[in-house]
Amino acid sequence: MKPIKIGLLGLGTVGTGVVKIVEGHQDDLSNQVGSPISIAQILVKDRRKTRSIPIEAAKLTEDPWDIVRNPDIDIIVEVMGGIAQTKEYILEALERGKHIVTANKDLMALHGQEILAKARDKGCDVLYEASVAGGIPIIRTLVEGFSSDRITKIMGIVNGTTNYILTKMSQEGAAYADVLKEAQELGYAETDPTSDVEGLDAARKMTILSSLGFRSNVDLDNVSVRGISGVTQEDIRYGKRLGYEVKLLGIAERQDDLFSVSVEPTMIKTTHPIAAVNGVFNAVYVHGEAVGETMFYGAGAGELPTATSVVADLVAVIKNMKLGVNGRQAQLSYNVMKLKSDDQIASKFFLLLHVEDRAGVLAQIAQVFSDCDVSIESVMQPSTPHQSSTEIIIITHQASKKAMNEVLNAFESLSAVRRVKSVYRVEG
């Protein structure tokens, strides 16, 4: 039977994994889709470079247009990354009736709507399971598994680098800068780690997950982002004493036609299932009105886990080809929603304050909270005998982000509060 021909854009980590799975699981795959799958052409940066897997030299090209314009290619698998240039290749491939499987979260977060609209026009599939949470089939789960439900909350550990760093800081008591350096040496963090540690990577993934989960167009601009570079050992230690772990959580919430999406280091109760997700693992917690609490856990990156999702998408595209139903992906942005303002976003908060150590300070602080209508759940004052200053840790009840900002503003003119050392959202 005539094989389905794949053009592979990129032969880095994930691309190599795709070749390994398509070749290693060929029997299984062709049993499922009804024909062989052949990786016919591969875009590489340097044709002469030595590869970790045997590849016929004739399949390699350094010119992406060779593949995009090759009339024999049925499906483009894009695992090269990049945004503007890559988008051009993909739009041109769609124009020529080729289906797309991509692992590119940046592209889908920024230009997903344009690309999906073009695909519908041209009767083509664009699948992107691998763009979020590597081997965890979370996109399928949101789109198909929970098609019947109204999703109210998504909390994700969707960046392995930062979870590795925070896990090491929590388990070994190491400082942020030291763990980052170690992660870079191990290849878990990039030489320029900004996109990971400042939360941008996670924000892009949350844009994708919240769009699908809420069936609405969520823009990257709608996501409020804070990274982990300010997380200290002190925060982690005090968090633990109160029963929390610090995790970089993407949090998307929906109430009726209002939504909010954020990425920020969060104090999460140790009893919550997501608090135990450690190292480079990813997890996505989903709460639906009907289904209640669910969680999906697995490797968030890596050659074979990510390639598993890419090739699962490939199987789905080929099945659609056999049925003649490509380009019929459900239209999932039918909800028109409004971004919550700061007075509509509520959570508990953790505050670590550096304060004067004298009688009446706590009363003054409590008065500020009360004036701003924020009620306090607990206060911890670690004893620091014979010093003129001390620390106070406060956990609030549910309060709006706006009210919390008012508290922080009021502290600026309160001499008893020398410094607000940390503020964290609290979950779980």
Residue 177 beta carbon to its own copies: minimum distance, rounded to whole angstroms = 29
Q: Is 17 annotated as a binding residue?
A: no
428 in a labelled binding site: no
217 φ/ψ angles, rounded to the nearest 5 degrees: -90, 105
Q: Shortest gap between Cβ of 402 and its own copies (angstroms)?
A: 30
Annotated catalytic residue, options 87, 98, 118, 205 = 205
Cβ closer to its own copies: 129 or 196? Answer: 129
Please check if 9 is assigned to a binding site: yes
Q: What is the arrangement of strands in the sheet containing 60-61, beginning at the earlier edge strand?
A: 60-61, 37-43, 4-9, 75-78, 99-102, 126-127
Closest distance between its own copies and the C-beta of residue 353, in Å?
34
**For its own copies, which is the closer residue by CB, 60 or 311?**
311
Identity of the residue, 7 or 137, whose beta carbon is nearer to its own copies in the bound complex = 137
Residue 91 or 138 having the CB closest to its own copies: 138
Closest approach, Cβ 391 to its own copies, in A, equals: 32
CB of 146 to its own copies, least distance (A): 7
User: Beta strand pairing status for 346-356 and 417-427?
Assistant: antiparallel
User: Is 60 marked as a binding-site residue?
Assistant: no
- 279 is annotated as contributing to ligand binding: no
| 230 assigned ligand-binding residue | no
What is the C-alpha to C-alpha distance for residues 427 and 236, in angstroms, rounded to an integer? 15
Report angle CA 209, 213, 218 to the nearest 5 degrees: 65
186 among annotated binding-site residues? no
SS3 state of residue 138: helix
Q: In terms of C-beta density within 10 A (0-12 exposed, 13-18 middle, 19 or more buried), how is residue 334 classed?
A: exposed
Residue 351, annotated as binding a ligand:
no
205 a catalytic residue: yes
Binding site for its own copies (CB under 8 A): 17, 20-21, 25, 28-29, 31-32, 129, 135-137, 140-141, 144-150, 215, 273, 276, 288-299, 302, 304-305, 307-312, 314-316, 319, 323, 325, 328, 330-332, 334
The smaller minimum CB distance to its own copies, of residues 36 and 145, is found at 145
Q: How far is the CB of 330 from its own copies (least distance, A)?
A: 6
Quick one: 312 or 420, whose CB is closer to its own copies? 312
Return binding residues for NADP(+).
9-16
Binding residue ranges for NADPH: 105
Active-site annotation, residues: 205
